[in-house]
Amino acid sequence: MMTPLLEVKGLQKLFPVKKGWFQQPSYVHAVNGIDATVYEGETLGIVGESGCGKSTLGRCILRLLEPTRGEILFQGRDISQLPKKEMHAVRRHMQMVFQNPFDTLNPKLKIGQILTEPLLSHGIPREQRQSLLEETVEIVGLNKRHLGRYPHEFSGGQRQRIGIARALMLQPKLIIADEPVSALDVSIQSQILNLMQDLQEHLSLTYIFISHDLSVVEHISDRVAVMYLGEIVEFADKDKLFLQPLHPYSQALLSATPTSDPDEKHERIILRGDLPSPSNPPQGCKFHPRCHACMEICRTEVPRLREVDGRQVACHLY
């Protein structure tokens, strides 16, 4: 039986929008009532256009951003209200890999110092630190000699390996990877994805993998949540989603993905317009101004996520 590692219930993150003195305050609904379960050992892909709230969701789960509402259960324990000190202890088990490691690696510190920081911060005894350092750089495909170098001495792919090593230093259970390969060349992307898959197998890791790139998500995920304007619109096993997407937004995203078979007939669905502002989302179905299948009801009634063909879909068509 699959064991839940993480559950989020009704997770919401609002950002206030500054207006004039006498105007009502308004809010950007960056994440709007997300419910999801992540099981031990799986990779949950989160996909959507830039600005759909997927990175904010990842940061809220780790409480790098404080959620406005909702529960976050990690191994059955609600961590959404934990005081800072207790949350710091929980973060040992939940780590993040960022899109551009160069932005998050201190250029004045050597790699050995950067990787030791989390160990010091969590009070790992001195006698364990060196062996942990050496083991971790090795499993990400670097070696001891690299510990004495500075971040600028590495290529983009090596820097991402360092970012992954930093996330692994405390032997976490869950890693949230936010666009971890989108800043890399395609050939390097596959090396990093393969590394992440190997690490998952050997270290029994669970991933939440955030990306705008469907082919990357297809490669690495077991299940996929498609997000639009802060909400999940389709949640399905990877194979089901990529074989037959049901939500019109998922259909449009998938139709824009190139296929490896040149003979395969591929009709592209062009999305109308841009992503609407999350501070002033459309009434009814938020996707309706761009939807090729829009009906009258879609303009006024919000579709709820419901079970359709062994997956969850939020659309009046089903």
Taking the C-alpha atoms of residue 231 and residue 250, their distance in angstroms, rounded to an integer, is: 13
Taking the C-alpha atoms of residue 63 and residue 80, their distance in angstroms, rounded to an integer, is: 8
* Closer residue to ligand SF4 (CB): 172 or 284: 284
Closest distance of CB 230 from ligand SF4, Å: 15
Q: Is 294 in the site for ligand SF4 (CB under 6 A)?
A: yes
Q: Which of 34, 59, 76 is nearest to 232 (CA)?
A: 34
Q: How far is the CB of 262 from ligand SF4 (least distance, A)?
A: 31
Strands 231-237 and 311-313: antiparallel
CA distance 172 to 61: 15
Q: What is the rounded CA–CA span in Å between residue 207 and residue 223?
A: 11
Minimum CB distance to ligand SF4 smaller for 269 or for 317: 317
Of the residues 163, 245, 248, 278, which one makes contact with ligand SF4 according to CB under 6 A = 248
Q: Cβ closer to ligand SF4: 172 or 303?
A: 303
C-beta separation of 58 from 46 below 8 A: yes
Pick the closest to residue 215 from 232, 238, 197, 198 (CA basis). Answer: 238
Instruction: Identify whether the C-beta of residue 63 lies closer than 8 Å to the C-beta of residue 79.
Output: yes
| Distance of alpha carbon 177 from alpha carbon 211, whole angstroms | 9
> Is 48 an interacting residue with respect to ligand SF4 (CB under 6 A)?
no
DSSP three-state, residue 311: strand
CB of 111 to ligand SF4, least distance (A): 47
Question: Whose structure tokens read 């419910």?
Answer: 35
We find the least distance from the C-beta atom of residue 95 to ligand SF4, in angstroms, to be 35
Q: Which of 177, 192, 287, 311 binds ligand SF4 (CB under 6 A)?
A: 287
Determine, following the binding rule CB under 6 A, whether residue 96 of this chain makes contact with ligand SF4.
no
Q: Does 172 bind ligand SF4 (CB under 6 A)?
A: no
Q: How many CA atoms lie within 13 A of 86 on its CB side?
A: 8
Which one, 198 or 301, has the nearer CB to ligand SF4? 301
Minimum CB–partner distance for residue 15 and ligand SF4 (Å): 24
Closest C-alpha to 312, from 251, 228, 243, 226:
226
**Stretch of 22-30, 46-54, 72-80, 289-297 lying at the interface with ligand SF4 (CB under 6 A):** 289-297
Rule CB under 6 A: is residue 54 a binding residue for ligand SF4?
no
- In the set 48, 288, 311, 312, which binds ligand SF4 (CB under 6 A)? 288
| Region near ligand SF4 per CB under 6 A, out of 30-38, 60-68, 275-283, 310-318 | 310-318
Residues 208-247, one symbol each (x = binds ligand SF4 by CB under 6 A, - = not), give: ---------------------------------------x
103: left (phi over 0), alpha (psi -120 to 50) or beta: alpha
316 binds ligand SF4 (CB under 6 A): yes
Q: Does 195 bind ligand SF4 (CB under 6 A)?
A: no
Of the pair 118, 303, the CB lying nearest ligand SF4 is at 303
120 alpha carbon, distance to own chain's centre: 27
Cα separation, 11 vs 29, in Å, equals 11
- Give contact residues for ligand SF4 (rule: CB under 6 A): 247-248, 285, 287-288, 291, 293-295, 298, 303, 315-317
